Structures are given as C-alpha cells and as structure tokens.
Amino acid sequence: MSAFKLLWLQSGGCGGCSMSVLNTEAPDFYSCLQYHNISLLWHPSFSEACTDDFMSLLDSIENGSIKIDALCLEGSVMMGPNGTGRFHRLSGTNRPMFEVLRSLAGKARYTLGIGSCAAFGGITMSGSNPGEATGLQYESKHPGGLLGADWKSPDGFPVINIAGCPTHPNWVIETLIQLAEDDLNTEQLDSFNRPRSYTDHLVHHGCPRNEYYEFKASTRRPSEQGCLMEHLGCLGTQARADCNRRLWNGDGSCLRGGYACINCTAPGFEEPGHCFTETPKIAGIPIGLPTDMPKAWFVALASLAKAATPERLKINATSDHIRISPGQYSRKKKR
C-alpha cells in the first residue's frame, strides 16, 4: 500500500499550530504518521530539505510527477497589498504565496486549513487587516476566501477546516488518519466544514466549573473558582469543541487553567467587539447564552438556581481555592 503523502505549508500566522501538533501524545506525532503510513513530504519547521530541494519538490508536484494526497496550510492567506500578494512571496521565488497555494490545492486530493487563520483568516485578519488576510475558503464566516465558495478538491471535498487557535493536536492527527484510511466523508463535516469529531461537542461539556454554572455561582476575578460565563466572558456554552473532554497535553484546557473560553474554533472569534474577559449584557442578561437556550428560560432558571445555591458554592466561587469541601459546611451547621 502506497504512503499517504502530505505537504504542509505556512503563510500568515505564528506557527502555534505546528507547536501544538508537536505535543501529540501516546503516540507522538512522528509515530502517528509512521503507524498510519503517512509520509510528511515537507514542513517548513520540521524538514531538513534546503531551498533547492524544496523547489524541486514543488516543481514535481505541480507538473504531476509526484502525487500528493493532502495539502495542509497553517496561517492565513496574505492577499495584500491590493490583491497582489506581494506581502508574502514564496521564499526563493517571485511568486505570491497565494498563487502557489491555489496551484497546489488543485493537485491534492484534500486541502486542509490547519487552525483558525487558515480556515477563516483568524487573528491575522483582525483590526483593519492591512495584509488583506483571508482563509482558504472562508473570509471570517463568509464563504469565499482564496479558493471560492464552490471550490472542491479533486476528491470532491471542500477545504477541511481544523479550526482552533491553536488547533488541538489530536484534531489534526485524527483527521489525517481518517483521510489516510478513506474513513472521512463530507457528512462528517459541520456547516463550516470542520470535522464533527470535535465540533459535535461543546467546550462546556466536561468543564470543571460546571457545578458553579448550574447554580450560577459566578466569579468576578480570574483567580477565583466560580463560573466565568456571567461576568468574565466565557463562551464555553457556545464553543464547538471538545477541549474539556479531550484534554491538552494530557491534563489541560483553558478553563482548567483559569481562563475563559473565547470560542477560538469559530470564525470571527478574534473580533468579539468587547474585551475577551467581559460578558456583555442587555438588561442584566448575558448575550452569550447557550445557542439553544431562550433568554426567558435563562432568567427563570438563573433566579431559581441562585436561590438554591449551596453556601459551599457561594463561598468557594469567590475564593481562589476550595475553602469548604462537599459536606463540610452542612456538618458544621448541624453542630
């Protein structure tokens, strides 16, 4: 059986998704590729090939003498200035990188946007977007990007967007394995063409602060134990990802580290219109409610939950450590 050939390129981004992928565990990144017969032809940080060797590889792919199965792009596509692509030309050539990407995407069976920058434009297109950054097939939440809304790969797939900032290493590895095993179809992609293996979940699922959320025992400072949704901008009840079920580096997630979820797998997360650590409210009601919860229900449930909050949670929610363990408060009261 011939190897599944993978080419990984980078454009407008920080390289954080490559750093994340290197944290693949049990087995490690290279072992995963080897076990599943995936050949990494080239990566700008991981490969030893020099400029001449890399150029020769690109020529062979573009003229068809080397067939590739997957083209992975990390970082957004830089179209500026004025659509010329001169802000990012392929090193050693005079070609705008977006022209190279467009050519290679037509050769690969699958094209993957690794991280939210490649998928939707991400952090690189925030603000006034002077670099005219965009995603491969989306510009923020709008279909289009470099390749156009109706583009399909030679195998009939849109760009597969493994979004996240950075993306989870297992999301990348799992998707590549599925493609190598011919075990992924378009029905397994969501409305933004992200793999449903992780976007059928919410970050809220498995959150270690869920008991505080249930009773609306909220915190106002990041160092405290309570729920971060009501005041500190947490979007875990809306964010499509399994970060608290499939932990990072074996034991971590943003919420486990005390940071509010900013919904980094979604298009436009980089421009919330307010500070990431603030929860906008209308008439005291957070606008960042779970997507399937009517506001009237939230008001009613929140009022009941706050009235029923155990004293233990009220005290612990505004503390930087667990001050009262389960059952401890009730035993003291009985005395």
Q: State the pLDDT confidence band at 308, using cuts at 50, 70 and 90.
A: confident
Q: State the pLDDT confidence band at 281, using cuts at 50, 70 and 90.
A: confident
**Domain of residue 263, CATH code:** 4.10.480.10
**Residues contacting 152, CB < 8 A, separation 6+:** 158
As for how many domains the chain has, the answer is 2
Q: Please give the helix or strand (H or E) that residue 111 lies within, else none.
A: strand 110-114
Nearest to 202, CA basis, from 138, 139, 266: 266
Same domain for 58 and 174, yes or no, is yes
Q: What token pair was written down for 286?
A: 């957070």
Checking if the pLDDT of 83 tops 70, the result is yes
Distances 28 to 7, 73, 96, 170 between C-alpha atoms, Å: 19, 21, 34, 10
Checking if the pLDDT of 329 tops 60, the result is no
Q: Tens digit of pLDDT for each residue in 207-264?
A: 999 999 888 899 999 889 999 998 999 999 999 999 999 999 888 999 999 999 999 9
What is the separation, in whole angstroms, between the first and last Cα of the chain?
73
| Strand locations in 43-182 (E) | 70-74, 77-78, 110-114, 133-134, 138-139, 142-143, 160-162
Same domain for 34 and 172, yes or no, is yes
Angle among Cα 311, 314, 315 to the nearest 5 degrees reads: 90
3-class state of residue 61 by DSSP: helix
Q: What is the pLDDT of residue 325?
A: 86
Write the burial class of residue 193 (CB in 10 Å: 0-12 exposed, 13-18 middle, 19+ buried).
buried
Candidate from 49-63, 98-112, 192-206, 293-307 with smallest mean pLDDT: 293-307
Same domain for 146 and 232, yes or no, is no
Q: Enter the DSSP assignment of 110.
A: E
Q: What is the pLDDT of residue 327?
A: 74
Q: Tens digit of pLDDT for each residue in 111-160?
A: 999 999 999 999 999 999 999 999 999 999 999 999 999 999 999 999 99
Same domain for 194 and 218, yes or no, is no
Same domain for 319 and 209, yes or no, is yes
Checking if the pLDDT of 331 tops 60, the result is no
Q: Tens digit of pLDDT for each residue in 4-23?
A: 999 999 999 999 999 999 99
Same domain for 165 and 137, yes or no, is yes
On whether residue 335 sits in a domain, the answer given is no
Question: Which phi and psi angles does 298 have, rounded to 5°?
Answer: -60, -45
On whether residue 288 sits in a domain, the answer given is yes
Q: What is the pLDDT of residue 306?
A: 78
Same domain for 226 and 311, yes or no, is yes
Same domain for 206 and 190, yes or no, is no
Checking if the pLDDT of 294 tops 90, the result is no
Q: What percent of the chain has pLDDT over 70?
A: 94
Distance CA 135, CA 146 (A): 7
Domain extent at residue 295:
202-330
Same domain for 60 and 85, yes or no, is yes
